[in-house]
């Protein structure tokens, strides 16, 4: 230990020692950065990095050694043999390459220890190869104990450095620990090895004239070191910049919509989180959140195709972004729905002005190559002025206001208010209660007669659903059916209706048909046909007695799938009726393409048909169309004798409505369906 301290303090120039230490620190930091990357990268990137990391690490070891050697002043003439000097650099580079290759490719937890051990051996091998190039007027003798100690220090500290290096590194602090240990490995190995030297002078031994002097060696080492470190620094800088660019690109891709270039839902989530912090910090700060939904956009996709829909979205998004002012932003959160945020306003009029600008931008015609399209917009607004200060809550309230605007075509921009909140909470409660209604046996089926017009005899029943809520009482189907369809609960409810209606019909003495409405959400279920077959098998109902009523909306949504399902149903004997004919997109092509067994004219056309010429024309046209296609027609909503007389005169095949009685509960229905064929039917009001 005394010899080591004496060597460092008495036989070295402090200035050169400091330079050697500085280069060792810089080189070690670069080496740790580049070598550590080998555990993170894969493929070609790792292959390219491996030789560069080996060159930097080897050059760091070599330059530290020889700069420290130029700092060493033994007090006699000395020099460096050129070939061995160059060989020592080669030893350092090749050994470092081997150490880094072990770190990069050797599997298992022991790989860093192996790599660090090879690094320590490389430092030792380079040191003692370089010492062989050290020429003095005499003979060098070595203290084997000090030599062994130097090698052990290099191997031990090298292994520790690589173990630390193999751990996940974050920032400069993550690299500083293994770099400092690497510096200790190089420096302690070097100075311990230098303390092992003893020179036996011999006047007969001359230093060869063709050797490298201290000054020449210093210039050579500085030049080689500067070139290699500059290459390493440039490489690291390029790497960092490329990673920053790649990170920015990935972040932009993750937070922006690829179709429109707008910020997306993830960006909005981050924005709302940051906005909440600002609102909490400053109670006077204001913001408004708007939910925007395009009207008639689905029709654009259905009629002109999705490419036209995408073009409309891009155009509308660009217009809205062009109308953004200071403190304003618009994001696309999915489909045809957008969210806008405005900050820093003083009066509500500024928010409304922003909403009107966006609305005006949206409703302008979109000119494509062959057609000019127009969509509308419904905008809901919630602000911190009246609706709370939680951005997430404001977003929900603006969504509620948007749906209110959507339900009223004359009010495209709607502000949130307490009444909307009440309705929203009520809707949420209805959804919750609907989820429990089937299990709690709250649903009830009622039955409306269907009568043949020529005989006025019953031919079947349409099944209608009623909900007996334990607290609300009887809930209107007009209230809960749309909510069930919107939330998807109609699938489970519809399955219950189908099973219960088939079970009930299987008990009737008279083979009346049973008509059941099928929601669009049921038709798109992959297992729908199998479910119907299972119910028929379970209940034993003749498939020919089951009539499924399909709305036109079910057909328009997915014509190919609906047609496939209808053919499967008909193949097992089930009949299909088109419900509410005339209220949607009814066309001759639809009736020709789909295998309907019945057309049901909507009640809105039957009411007062005997005294409304326009309704009469529609009903006559439908009856003529049914006759031409050989499809029976049933008229719904018959309430008075004059309506019945008109339909009979126009050769309508069957009718249903209050004229024959209101929808009846199960017991009243059984009085008709379970009566012997010889008994008279009672049902005409």
Active site residues: 636
d(CA 36, CA 51) in angstroms, rounded, equals 13
Strands 197-201 and 138-142: antiparallel
Bridge partner residues of 79 (DSSP) = 135
Q: What angle do CA 357, 358, 362 make, to 5 degrees?
A: 120
Report residue 394 CA to chain centroid gap.
23
d(CA 465, CA 448) in angstroms, rounded, equals 11
Q: How many helices (H) and strands (E) does the chain have?
A: 25, 20
Residue (of 289, 294, 291, 272) closest to 399 by Cα position? 291
Q: How far is CA 215 from CA 66, 138, 212, 220, 221, in A?
A: 11, 21, 8, 9, 10
For 484-514, the DSSP string reads HHHHTTHHHHHHHHHHHHHHHHTT-SS--EE
366-385 per-residue burial string, b: 16 or more CB within 10 A, e: under 16: beeeeeebebebbbbbbbbe
Bridge partner residues of 377 (DSSP) = 294
For 309-332, the DSSP string reads HHHHHHHHHHHHHHT--TTEEEEE
Sign of CA dihedral 59, 65, 68, 73: negative
> H-helix or E-strand containing 12?
none
Spatial strand order of the sheet with 413-415 comes to 328-334, 337-343, 287-295, 376-383, 413-415
| CB atoms near residue 245 (< 10 Å) | 10
Q: How far is CA 348 from CA 30, 288, 391, in A?
A: 57, 9, 17
Residue (of 74, 247, 269, 32) closest to 158 by Cα position? 32
d(CA 304, CA 47) in angstroms, rounded, equals 51
The 3-state DSSP class for residue 596 equals: coil
Q: Long-range contacts for 573-577 (Cβ within 8 Å, ≥24 apart)?
A: 573/542, 573/543, 573/544, 574/532, 574/543, 574/544, 574/546, 574/547, 574/548, 575/513, 575/544, 575/546, 575/547, 575/548, 576/547, 576/548, 576/550, 577/515, 577/547, 577/548, 577/549, 577/550, 577/634
Q: Long-range contacts for 429-437 (Cβ within 8 Å, ≥24 apart)?
A: 430/475, 430/479, 430/480, 430/483, 431/483, 431/487, 431/489, 433/469, 434/480, 434/483, 434/484, 434/487, 434/489, 434/493, 435/489, 437/467, 437/469, 437/493
């Amino acid at each position: 230990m005394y010899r080591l301290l004496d060597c460092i303090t008495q036989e070295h120039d402090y200035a050169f020692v400091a330079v050697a230490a500085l280069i060792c620190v810089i080189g070690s930091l670069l080496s740790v950065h580049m070598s550590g990357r080998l555990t993170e990268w894969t493929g070609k990137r790792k292959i390219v990095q491996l030789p560069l990391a080996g060159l930097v690490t080897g050059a760091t070891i070599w330059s530290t050694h020889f700069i420290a050697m130029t700092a060493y002043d033994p007090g006699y003439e000395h020099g460096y043999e050129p070939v061995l000097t160059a060989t020592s650099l080669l030893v350092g580079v090749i050994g470092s390459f081997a150490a880094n290759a072990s770190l990069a490719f050797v599997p298992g937890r022991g790989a860093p220890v192996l790599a660090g051990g090879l690094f320590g051996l490389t430092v030792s091998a380079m040191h003692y190869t370089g010492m062989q190039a050290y020429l003095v007027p005499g003979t060098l003798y070595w203290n084997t104990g000090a030599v062994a100690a130097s090698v052990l220090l290099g191997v031990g500290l090298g292994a520790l450095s690589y173990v630390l290096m193999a751990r996940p590194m974050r920032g400069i602090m993550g690299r500083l620990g293994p770099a400092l240990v690497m510096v200790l490995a190089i420096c302690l190995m070097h100075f311990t090895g230098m303390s092992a030297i003893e020179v036996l002078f011999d006047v007969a031994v001359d230093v060869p004239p063709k050797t490298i002097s201290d000054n020449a060696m210093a210039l050579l080492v500085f030049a080689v070191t500067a070139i290699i470190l500059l290459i390493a620094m440039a490489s690291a800088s390029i790497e960092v910049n490329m990673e920053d660019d790649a990170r920015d690109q990935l972040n932009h891709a993750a937070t922006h919509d690829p179709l429109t270039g707008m910020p997306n839902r993830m960006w909005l989530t981050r924005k709302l989180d940051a906005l909440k912090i600002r609102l909490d910090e400053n109670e006077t700060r204001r913001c408004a959140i708007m939910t925007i939904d395009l009207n008639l956009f689905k029709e654009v996709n259905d009629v002109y195709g999705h490419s036209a829909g995408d073009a409309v979205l891009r155009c509308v998004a660009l217009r809205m972004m062009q109308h953004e002012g200071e403190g304003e932003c618009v994001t696309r959160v999915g489909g045809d729905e957008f969210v806008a945020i405005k900050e820093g306003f003083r009066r509500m009029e500024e928010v409304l002005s922003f909403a009107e600008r966006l609305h005006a931008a949206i409703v302008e015609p979109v000119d494509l190559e062959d057609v000019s399209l127009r969509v509308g917009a419904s905008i809901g607004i919630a602000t911190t002025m009246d609706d709370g200060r939680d951005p997430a809550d404001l977003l929900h309230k603006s969504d509620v206001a948007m749906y209110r605007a959507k339900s009223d075509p004359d009010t495209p921009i709607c502000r949130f208010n307490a009444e909307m909140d009440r309705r929203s909470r009520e809707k949420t409660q209805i959804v919750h209660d609907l989820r429990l209604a089937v299990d709690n046996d709250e649903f009830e089926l009622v039955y409306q007669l269907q009568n043949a017009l020529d005989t006025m005899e019953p031919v079947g029943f349409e099944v209608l659903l009623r909900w007996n809520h334990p607290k609300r009482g009887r809930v209107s189907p007009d209230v809960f059916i749309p909510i069930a369809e919107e939330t998807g609960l109609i699938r489970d409810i519809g399955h219950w209706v189908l099973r219960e209606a088939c079970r009930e019909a299987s008990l009737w003495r008279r083979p009346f048909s049973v008509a059941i409405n099928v929601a669009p959400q049921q038709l798109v279920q992959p297992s729908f046909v199998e479910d119907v077959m299972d119910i028929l098998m379970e209940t034993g109902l003749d498939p020919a007695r089951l009539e499924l009523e399909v709305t036109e909306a079910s057909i328009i949504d997915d014509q190919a799938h609906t047609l496939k399902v209808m053919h499967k149903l008909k193949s097992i004997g089930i009949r299909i009726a088109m419900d509410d004919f005339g209220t949607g997109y009814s066309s001759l092509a639809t009736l020709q393409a789909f295998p309907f067994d019945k057309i049901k004219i909507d009640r809105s056309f039957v009411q007062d048909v005997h005294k409304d010429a326009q309704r009469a024309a529609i009903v006559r046209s439908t009856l003529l169309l049914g006759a031409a296609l050989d499809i029976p027609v049933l008229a719904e909503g018959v309430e008075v004798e004059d309506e019945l007389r008109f339909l009979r005169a126009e050769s309508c095949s069957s009718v249903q409505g209050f004229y024959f009685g209101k929808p009846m509960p199960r017991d009243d229905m059984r009085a008709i369906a379970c009566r012997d064929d010889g008994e008279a039917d009672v049902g005409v009001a």
